[in-house]
Amino acid sequence: MSSLFLVGGVAQGPLQDAIDTRFPSLFDRVVVLDDINQLLLYLYRERVGAKYIASASDSNTIKPWSFETGIALIVHRPDGTYKDLNPILQRFFPCLNAIALTESQLRDDDSTLSILSRLQQLALICRDRIARMSHWMYDDGPFSGLYLMIRHLRCVQQFNQQVNVIPRAIRSIDFASLLGVTPEMESRLWDSLDTWSFQPHSLQTKELVYCGFLLLRQCARDAKSTVQENKLLLLIFTLESSYHQVNRFHNFRHAVDVMQAAWQLAKRLLTDPLQVLLVTLAALGHDVGHPGANNQLLCKYNSPVALHYKQRSVLENLHTDIFTSLLSEHWPQLIGKTSQGRQHMELISEAIMATDMAFHGNYVRQLQESNQAARDPRSLLSLILKAADISNVTRPLTISAQWAALITLEFDDCALLDRYQAKGGKHNSSTSGSRRNSYAEGRNSPELEHGIDYSDDFYTASPEQLTENFPAIPAGQIFFIDTFAEQFFAEFCKTFPQVGFLVENVKSNREFWVSRS
């Protein structure tokens, strides 16, 4: 799903002739826009599934356009404000595969053909799930528009060293209007958030964004931490664009789910509203930039990010660095350069680091050996986020089974990626992205938004139906519960009996998986 954007009066003819003659299958669509302001608004609308409004009477919505399964070429006429769009794209839309060129860069036929040839190669990578993941994780080439983990990290580090002003075109966007919020929608989402039976699989991207906003706005009010609503929405929009929508499991949907779980636990276990805000906020950013793989694969094949972090808690360090950089820019009142701001950042960082499963045993022992966790805010915030991160097995069975299907698919992707890298990153039919569009294909699930077809068929499927279509679920869930979850939640609920329902749900879900194994 590749796009050609012509912005600011760029002539379509010469470029289109080259595309039609040499690269007829490169772009799925051509979008003509008046100016950069219109382009940025268009990108935000499509990311959350809000149709670009040409007239006041047109308010329909569409599914988000998948910018990650294709490449976007933006050709524009530079003006005094926006001479180079690429830093803006990398800063506010880091996971979009997009490159911006000025019209003058494509005036020469040879350079145009060279650029289009390279884009066609990248588009082929984008359309293959495993090749795309490999590129994200292991490539370290020059900027081409296609996402790289190491470039994402370098960009946020570079932004940290500069005084950055949010562009006027972005500041002027009314982000709430992009979500189409109504009183009925807000009431419905609050009802959903205020229960342990939170069902994120039935929500559209714009609803997930607004769920994050509702929780953070409420937590900020309770903590008396002021933040302008449009700035808070920009933070959440930027976060959503920093997660890969096409990931099976580790995507923004998972982030919102963990956020809701952390908030549910925090309001039961914490008395300080500021601590509730910090752990809820940390949960939303705890997997930002996740490639849908794991630390083992990053280290095994010496990814640039793994080398940067000396192969220690690679993903968790990446998530922490990207997220705290975003907070420093978008919420400096909370995470600033004061001693209190640094303390807040440390609490958020430590909570995110606690999600590294390599430290799982340490947290179980901490719960077993002392009551310090109940008294020490640092320990308690880390334990809450850790519990929320693995809380899928504590959800009601129907919801837990849906997460189980998705993590099963992601584990399959990891196995395919391992084989792909072992063969030197060479394509073969077993790693093809040409998968049929039905969740019922089980292990051969489709290459769609958020890694799976979020149709009514998926989120209304019963655990029995999902197990039939994903036969590996029972064994995987039993292994995870027996190895990690049951003991952790038993100790967690012993220390905090007010959340005893967690371990009861784990036991009940395990009984079902045993019956289906």
- Binding positions for Zn(2+) are 254, 286-287, 389
CB 116 within 8 A of CB 26: yes
d(CA 428, CA 413): 14
For the packed helices 205-223 and 229-240, what is the interaxial angle rounded to 10 degrees?
130
Token pair belonging to 295: 């630390």
Torsion of CA 304, 307, 312, 313, to 10 degrees: -10
- The question of whether 427 is a catalytic residue gets the answer no
Q: Which residues sit in the known binding site?
A: 254, 286-287, 389
Per-residue tokens: 209: 């964004």
**Residue labelled with tokens 């940290």:** 160
Strand partners, 71: none
User: Half-sphere exposure of residue 38, counting CA atoms within 13 Å on the CB side?
Assistant: 15
The structure tokens 């600033």 sit at 336
Q: What is the DSSP letter of 499?
A: G
Whose tokens are 């990311």? That residue is 47
CA 486 from chain center: how many Å?
27
Contact 505, 493 (CB under 8 A): no
Of 255, 276, 278, 256, nearest to 266 by C-alpha is 276
Residue with tokens 């008395």: 271
Look up residue 324 and give its two tokens: 């705290």
Total residues belonging to the chain: 517
| Angstrom distance (rounded) from CA 209 to CA 213 | 6
CA distance 49 to 63: 5
Report whether 5 contacts 71 (CB < 8 A): no
Q: Which of 135, 244, 250, 290 is catalytic?
A: 250
Q: How far apart are CA 472 and CA 216, in angstroms?
A: 37
Residues with Cβ < 8 Å from 4, sequence gap 6 or more?
15, 19, 27, 29, 30, 31, 72, 73, 75
Q: Can you tell me the distance from the alpha carbon of 275 to that of 348, in angstroms, rounded to the nearest whole number?
A: 10
Catalytic residue ranges = 250
